[in-house]
Chain A
Amino acid sequence: MSDTRTPGRLFRMWDNDIAYSFRKSPLAIVSGVVALVIVLAAVFAPLIAPTNPYDPSGLNLMDGFTPPMAPNAFTGNSFVLGADNQGRDVLSTILYGARISLFVGFSAVLFAMVLGIVAGLVAGYRGGWVDAVLMRIADVQLSFPSILIALLIFGVARGFIPPSQRETMAIWVLIVAIGLSDWVQFARVVRGATMVEKSKEYVQAARVIGVSPARILLRHVLPNVMGPVLVIGTIGLALAIIAEATLSFLGVGVPPTQPSLGTLIRIGQQYLFSGEWWILLFPALTLLALALAVNLLGDWLRDALNPRLR
């Protein structure tokens, strides 16, 4: 764990098994680049987006439905990817939308990960009734599709929040709903790995010299179970992004004033029949590229961390 002894941290990042398998897999490189480009574009959206879609004063309703790469008949404004029904630049809404989608996705996975790791460590280490109760809950939850659970949590949370705050709280409710619907995967894997690790000698040695259970779990067991957790986390990120898009598409996600990719697709779908395809197509392609790239990265990571496949 000490960084001082090894010279050149960058070199170590470049020269290890996982980095080697990354360099040898063209699919992983392509998806890595696609994911990185979308993430960077989303993070720096305020700097690179041509317009700010949240600023009503910058919008001109006359720009509405401008096709891509063609000047508007009334205003003469031209947009690379066209403009949507309210005259917002589609490219800018996508950049800002990806920002929200990624924020919700990352936060939800992080939430699910922390919850799942804690539950899994405790269940695996303590065993007994704690394990039984946690795993029964996990079993019951696992037999329902996670989107249904997220919807239900979302519905319940809305009931508790006064209507005036529903729009501002929507993103946080969404994160909790998706996170709570996803923790089971983490908990099961961590529990299994913990049960294997806890009977190993280093854990017993630590226990003999009187290290507290919390410290054993966090400092000794956790680093050894992080591999599979990262794999599930990556694939879970793709699932969370899709879950967010699905909920927003169903109209129970983020409000239209701060559209995520799912909300943009929902808006775009309404204009598909009248021939304004660009409002739908570009957000949909972005979502697809993002989800697919993250998914493929997860697949690659799973294979790279699997010692049997090396």
Chain B
Amino acid sequence: MSEAEVLQPSSTLDLGWMDRQGEWGIRAVPGKQGLSLADIQIGSYGEPEERSDNQTGRPRGAGARPNSYRIGGYAVMSKSEIWLDNASFLYEEALQRQWSSATDVPWHTIKPLPDDIEEAECQLATFFTEVEFVAGDVPARWIASTTPDFFEPRQCLLAQVMDESRHMDVFRKRALANGGGLMQTSGGTAGVVGSIDLARDFTEMSSRLHISGEGAVLTMFRMGELMAYNEAEKAMYRLCAQDEARHVAFGVMHMRYMSETAPQRREEIQCYLDEAERQILAGSQNPAGTQTDSSEALAILLGGGKDKYDEGVRKLIAIRKRQVQEYIKRVRSTGFGDRFDNGRSQLIRTFDDHAAA
């Protein structure tokens, strides 16, 4: 651009771009929840095509430039790979329900606890600090590799990264707020085959992260009243459960969409669920799993002390049973419930064996 160009008079306006814009005459109207993402899914700005050819980062529905660089390098270009029907709703809910671990948790209600209880609380908080951002790191990677034509699911995942960041910080805060400290990690989020981190397909990742992993944690958070010793801890679990419920809903709705629109992938998805179920009871990413530090800590918290450990274990078994029941319910809801009826899933029998032992 020359200096002359910079100082160009108005009479040289080109304005040719005005004829190359997207569909015109759109007037989205706010509903009673404000102007939501669903409200602007109208006309050609509504649902995306089954297959995206957008490699330039163009907003969906905008006019295309034939000379644009293909800078996206997106791996997820098929709608069935990531889509779900209620992403707009989940995203708007996430925005409405953001909270602050600094000010929305009544930290002053935390009072000194017996040593064994505080230590168990800190062990559990260490576990959650360690694992919660799996669900931050991993979705982040998928956001960057998904075409913006599927921005509604991406928006949900961005909200999830934010939520998990808060979860990581609220449990760190709890560990350091009451005379304790962080303890030993579980190592449960290692980079091994079959882990959430290493999945190379979005649905594979989502089945592990949203359906089984976060599902198990959601059950725990919902039972927070049983293991909380003050209003601060109750608030932490309640607020985290609210967030996790959205993340699990994302996974369920996506898998349902996948089941309905890509039936040729059903058997493959069943294999992911086989794998997820093996991990559910192994417990590495499940605080209520068997023989883990966090499960012992939980038993102490649930029982009310080291000397009431057996009572705590009985409550813990009830929680694990509930985790399995809720998992089965979720999988049925996705359209893969036949695995529990045709003998493919070993989950119920294995759980009964574990519980008896």
Chain A partners chain B: no
B contacts, CB < 8 Å to A: none
A contacts, CB < 8 Å to B: none
